[in-house]
């Protein structure tokens, strides 16, 4: 696979934009999101997690990308893992009469029985990179492209804020679960649920499992939904308990308000994550 584009922008600007893969969605709408997954500056060894729609059905698939070589303003080499396919590729940057010539070269490297459909994989990869480089040119050269880039940056900021909220919810779940496991009786009495240490420990385990699920960073939308359901069940438990006299009625409003608030927040986060 090979594709070339000429962009009416300095090499330094084009290279800097391409080097940061989190910019890709502003040039290629089929890429839903890109997250840098390694610490430190972007260089050889830097890794990214990409979520992209794949033809022909538009299913969203995750791919990991790792830079294997970086020469400032000249060359980027990388390898990826997309399901059973492990493509390798390079991007070169050259000055050309005041513009920048960007050339992509890649090999899909299918394995096993996938080698049979290697020509189809090559064609799909060629179309994807032709489209992506054309989008790169539009993003860097035209006002419409700059608007898309700004819109993507705003969505990225929203995504970062959402991720931080999810992580906070995860740590709160773990903290609550540990607290219940360590001092089950005082906490249950404080909530008006009486002396029920076994129930407390079961709830503590539930909180720990949900918290770890939220912090793993995978399927967080589903885990937020689980968090929301768990809090809604707690609210129902408190209401039924208060009505039957098992739960202290003077403590019930606090538990209901807290549970309802966390349940609403969790469902809201789940919806936002599913829309990304």
The predicted-structure confidence for 18-34, as pLDDT tens digits, reads as follows 999 988 888 888 888 88
Tell me the pLDDT band of 143, cut-offs 50, 70 and 90: low
pLDDT at residue number 276: 58
Instruction: State the pLDDT at residue 11.
Output: 92
Separation between Cα atoms, residue 241 and residue 230, nearest integer Å: 16
* Co-location of 181 and 102 in the same domain: no
Angle between helices 252-275 and 143-182 (to 10 degrees): 140
* 114 and 182 inside one domain: no
**Domain span at 60:** 2-141
Burial of 64 (0-12, 13-18, 19+ CB in 10 A): middle
Residues 75, 174, single domain; the answer is no
Determine, yes or no, domain membership for 30: yes
148 part of a folded domain: no
Residue 117 and residue 16 share a domain: yes
Whether residue 149 is predicted with pLDDT greater than 60 in this model: the reply is no
- Alpha helices for the chain (secondary structure H): 11-19, 24-27, 118-141, 143-182, 184-190, 197-216, 220-244, 252-275
Q: Are residues 219 and 98 in the same domain?
A: no
Q: Is residue 147 part of a domain?
A: no
Render pLDDT for 43-101 as a digit per residue (tens, 0 to 9).
Answer: 999 999 988 876 655 577 888 999 999 999 999 999 988 877 888 999 999 998 889 99
Q: What is the pLDDT of residue 193?
A: 61
Task: Output the DSSP codes for 139-181.
Answer: HHHSHHHHHHHHHHHHHHHHHHHHHHHHHHHHHHHHHHHHHHH
Q: State the DSSP H helix or E strand holding residue 44, giving kind and residue range, or none if neither.
A: none
pLDDT at 236: 86
Give the pLDDT score at 161: 81
**For residue 150, is it within any domain?**
no
Give dist(CA 33, CA 211) in Å, integer. Answer: 24
Highest mean pLDDT among 54-68, 122-136, 140-154, 183-197: 122-136
40-44, 104-108, 215-219: segment of lowest average pLDDT: 215-219
Q: Which residue has the higher pLDDT, 200 or 14?
A: 14
- 213-258 tens-digit pLDDT: 998 877 788 899 999 999 898 888 778 777 777 666 777 777 788 8
SS3 56: coil
How long, in residues, is the chain? 276
Residues 92 and 215 in one domain: no
What mean pLDDT do residues 126-145 have? 84
Rounded Cα distance, 47 and 39, in Å = 9
Contacts of 218 (CB under 8 A, 6+ apart): none
What CATH code is carried by the domain that includes residue 107?
3.30.530.20
Q: What is the largest CA-CA distance in the chain?
A: 83
- Lowest-confidence pick of 7-16, 22-31, 206-215: 22-31
Residues 6+ apart with CB under 8 A from 190: 251
**Range scoring the smallest mean pLDDT among 36-40, 151-155, 271-275:** 151-155
Compute the distance between CA of residue 76 and CA of residue 26 in angstroms, rounded to an integer. 19
Q: Band the pLDDT of 3: cuts 50, 70, 90.
A: very high
Using an 8 Å Cβ cutoff, are 83 and 54 in contact?
no
**DSSP conformational letter for 51:** E
Total tally of structural domains belonging to the chain: 2
Claim to verify: residue 271 and residue 188 sit in the same structural domain: yes
Asked if 126 and 79 sit in the same domain, the reply is yes
pLDDT of residue 209: 92
**Which tokens hold the place of 109?**
């490297």
Q: Which residues have C-beta within 8 Å of that of residue 73, sequence separation ≥ 6?
A: 11, 12, 15, 93
Domain final position from 111, 141, 171? 141
Specify whether the CB–CB gap between 84 and 114 falls below 8 A.
yes
pLDDT at 41 over 80: yes
What's the pTM? 0.56
Token pair listed for 250: 């003077």
> Among 46-55, 73-82, 123-132, 139-148, which is the least confidently predicted range?
139-148
């Amino acid at each position: 696979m090979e594709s070339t584009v000429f962009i009416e922008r300095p090499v330094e600007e084009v290279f800097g934009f391409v080097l940061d893969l989190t910019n890709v969605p502003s040039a290629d709408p089929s890429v839903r999101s890109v997250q840098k997954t390694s610490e430190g500056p972007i260089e050889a060894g830097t890794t990214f997690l990409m979520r992209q729609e794949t033809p022909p059905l538009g299913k969203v698939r995750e791919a990991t990308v790792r830079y294997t070589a970086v020469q400032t303003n000249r060359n980027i080499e990388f390898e990826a893992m997309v399901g059973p396919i492990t493509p390798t590729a390079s991007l070169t940057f050259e000055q050309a009469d005041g513009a920048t010539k960007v050339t992509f070269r890649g090999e899909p490297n299918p394995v096993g029985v996938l080698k049979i459909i290697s020509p189809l994989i090559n064609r799909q990869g060629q179309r994807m990179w032709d489209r992506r480089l054309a989008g790169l040119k539009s993003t860097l050269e035209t006002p419409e492209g700059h608007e898309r880039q700004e819109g993507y940056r705003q969505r990225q900021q929203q995504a970062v804020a959402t991720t931080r909220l999810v992580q906070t919810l995860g740590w709160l779940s773990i903290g609550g679960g540990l607290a219940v496991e360590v001092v089950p009786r005082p906490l249950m009495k404080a909530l008006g649920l009486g002396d029920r240490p076994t129930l407390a420990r079961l709830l503590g385990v539930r909180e720990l499992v949900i918290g770890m699920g939220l912090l793993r960073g995978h399927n967080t939308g589903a885990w937020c939904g689980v968090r929301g359901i768990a809090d809604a069940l707690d609210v129902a438990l408190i209401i039924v308990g208060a009505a039957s006299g098992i739960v202290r009625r003077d403590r019930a409003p606090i538990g209901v308000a807290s549970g309802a608030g966390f349940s609403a927040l969790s469902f809201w986060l789940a919806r936002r994550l599913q829309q990304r």
